[in-house]
Amino acid sequence: MVKSSMNRMLAGNGLFYPIIGFASFIAFLYLSFGDLWVNYSKEINLSFVERNGTQFFVDGKVFYINGWNSYWLMDHAADYNTRPRIRTMLQAGAKMGLTVCRTWAFNDAGYNALQISPGKFDEKVFRALDHVIAEARRNGIRLLLSLVNNLQAYGGKTQYVKWAWDEGVALSSSNDSFFYDPSIRRYFKSYVKTVLTRRNIYTGIEYRDDPTIFAWELINEPRCMTDPSGDTLQDWIEEMSTFVKSIDRKHLLTVGLEGFYGPKSPKKTTANPEIWAADLGSDFVRNSILSTVDFASVHVYPDHWFHHKNFDEMLKFAAKWMLSHIEDGDKELKKPVLFTEFGLSNDNDDFEPAQRDRFLKMVLDVLYKSAKRNKSGAGSFFWQFLVEKMERFNDEYGVVPWESPSTYRLITEQSCRLAKVQGLHSTQTENVKNFCASRRN
């Protein structure tokens, strides 16, 4: 009633439509530039993560990672209707004592593309990535940023090949020409340079100078099946890792491997899931041993790799798989090993919710024991965490952590267990410090 009377009064004085017009203009300004008014000055001070031998360090203190994947952060930050999910997810991660989130710093062509065509970027989406980094800094979360996808999702190497083909400069239509075509290599180098030298509009810091970024990942799950010898992929890794280091010497770098052993590896038959794994053009030790690669990455998906094993058999393999790579980190690479993706699908025929927690507990236990023994197992990243109303983005591995109390408890307990080994870092939130302290009492 009061609202109706006010509208009649404003209309009668000829003020109604001008006020509505002004309000619409303010709304437009907010939607276009609203984040420029957000106060990012309260972020937590972060230092660069460094490596010494098989361990990570921050401010001279050993740093083990209890992390997670939310690949979708930049994509959702580009839309103001979904942007609040970024803060919700990062705040939840901080509350659980998690310290690093792995996410995509690429989207090539398609909806919300960061790179529309070679060397051409959408500023709105770049600002979305700026927002993700600034919001992570504000919550004391570091980011592991991946630069391109081996898979077709979000463009990936397929899109680079298509661009070259459409421009008439491609050597081949094969997706694997991404790794050897000179024109495509130039496309990717241009992209990398643009991202690394981007100045964040909210913090004023160039990405290459921002300690919020834990590390760069060259490519998610690289495979070059047209050259099972591994030479093509190895040449690409050597060239691109050297290029990244020529621009950014402050950040750590990893390849983004799944962890398979190649055809010349003595472990190709003893540690690989099956015989096909040696013919994918990658090799864990060979690809990771380069001086320009600071740490090794491994993925753990036994239910994706096997189709005729029961859950207990897959669990046994996964533990052996992890220990094999930690051994490599200690004896061959002398570098940290991060398990940057691990998960269990709820689409498995025999899936039960308790299985996911058993699998999670096994992974976290292996890494806790490695940390206690000063071994190279430096941390893990659960695939993947979502927030509410994101069913469309769930790939049957996703979990909303606060909707699964048992999963939430296991992950938070890992934060406390690692704290016993390394001590709580200053970025970990007060409620986690209090939670861990209460468990000790």
Describe the crossing of helices 84-95 and 430-440 by its angle, rounded to 10 degrees: 30
CA distances to 104, 192, 254, 287, 369 from 101, rounded to whole Å, are 10, 20, 15, 23, 22
Q: What is the DSSP string of 158-192?
A: HHHHHHHHHTT--S-SSGGGGGT-HHHHHHHHHHH
Q: Determine phi and psi for 304, rounding to 5 degrees.
A: -85, -30
Residue 13's DSSP bridge partners are none
Among the listed residues 221, 238, 352, 413, the single catalytic one is 221
Q: Are 369 and 90 in contact (CB under 8 A)?
A: no
Q: Nearest to residue 153, comparing CAs of 74, 253, 71?
A: 71
Among the listed residues 341, 388, 396, 430, the single catalytic one is 341
Residue 385, classed as helix, strand or coil, is strand
Q: Are 263 and 213 in contact (CB under 8 A)?
A: no
CA–CA separation, 103 and 50 (whole Å) = 20
Q: Is 341 a catalytic residue?
A: yes
Catalytic residues: 221, 341
